[in-house]
Amino acid sequence: MILCCGEALIDMIPAPTSGGQEGFVPHTGGAVFNTAIALGRLGIRTGLLTGLSSDMFGRQLTEALTASHVDASLSITSERPTTLAFVRLVDGHATYSFYDENSAGRMLTPEDMPAVPTDVIALFFGGISLACEPGADAYAALLAREAKGRAVMLDPNIRPGFIRDIDRYRARLGRMLAQTDIIKVSDEDLNWIEPAPLSMNDKVETLLKAGPAIVILTRGGEGATGILADGTEVHVPAATVDVSDTVGAGDTFNAGVLAKLSEMGRLRKADLHALSPEALEDAMMHGAKAAAVTVARAGANPPWAGEL
């Protein structure tokens, strides 16, 4: 099983009302939630460890997980509210306004984190759950406790507006990177992590020295580049599709990469540190193919295996 650890929330997507004014429709979302949903739909045994609310939106999230074959038994349920993200779309690109104070997901503590079953072979972390305390500390503690012997992928998906203490965030992210095997970053993420005036190659090398065996650098419509520890690069172009919006594209890409590595039997620490360029390219192509389906339709709606 792949265990995705991080936020589950409700995306409030703008939509016209019968009266002509714009309203908002609640859709399930959250970076880590989206990756878990995509993995479940791609036929991979998947679980989600998050904080879920007992409110109406929490029930909507739970029902969506069940419908996409994601095991939520390790999630922690409370009466705290569900995080809401109000989405603004401009030319298909999303910006967000979050309402996250005292939410079920954000208020998790290290003591809340359950023991991870032995059948979990890989852990995935990412999104705003790495920035918002105390939950961010809880996930960092979980990784420190459970990473040994398990493959780890991390997508920081950095949103500077959520980072209240930059030094604490950088220190926590640095500790997590030291235990990570695959890190996926956008060019914006990479420039934030390493703000020094270095070339992209030098910035990637800095990341590799921090611990990961593989860096995947995404550049939107320009595709993605994978870099192995020895400096070998592979490039995968973005699929050409009519874009509806980009909500959930990167999350689906992550799922496609993990799904293909799992199918190839390469989702183990030792295998990832000895991964061939061809295997990495196959995994990234699968991720790009899955993401292309997501961007071609509204909202974070990842494909099922049969659609690929």
pLDDT tens over the chain, length 308 residues: 999 999 999 989 888 888 878 888 899 999 999 999 999 999 999 999 999 999 999 999 999 999 999 999 999 999 999 999 898 877 766 677 889 999 999 999 999 999 999 999 999 999 999 999 999 999 999 999 999 989 999 999 998 888 989 999 999 999 999 999 999 999 999 999 998 889 888 999 999 999 999 999 998 778 899 999 999 999 999 877 777 666 778 899 999 999 999 999 999 999 999 999 999 999 999 999 999 888 778 767 898 999 88
Extract the tokens encoding 13: 């997507």
CATH code of the region 2-307: 3.40.1190.20
Burial track 149-185 (b if 16+ CB lie within 10 A, e otherwise): ebbbbbbbbbbeebbeeeeebeebbebbbebbbbbbb
Name the residue type at position 193: I
- Could you tell me the residue ranges of all domains in the chain? 2-307
**Rounded CA separation 246/2 (Å):** 24
Q: Which CA distances in Å does 98 have to 181, 183, 205, 219, 226?
A: 30, 25, 33, 25, 31
User: Are 34 and 254 in contact, with CB atoms under 8 Å apart?
Assistant: no
What is the three-class DSSP state of 74? Answer: coil
Burial track 213-240 (b if 16+ CB lie within 10 A, e otherwise): bbbbbbeeeeebbbbbbeeeebebebbe
pLDDT score at 19: 80
Q: Is the pTM of this model over 0.85?
A: yes
Q: Which of 125, 137, 112, 131 is nearest to 52 (CA)?
A: 112
Listed in order, strand segments (DSSP E) in the chain are 2-5, 9-16, 22-29, 46-49, 51-53, 70-71, 76-78, 84-90, 93-99, 122-126, 151-155, 182-186, 214-218, 224-228, 233-236
Quick one: CA dihedral 180, 181, 184, 188, positive or negative? positive
pLDDT score at 244: 63
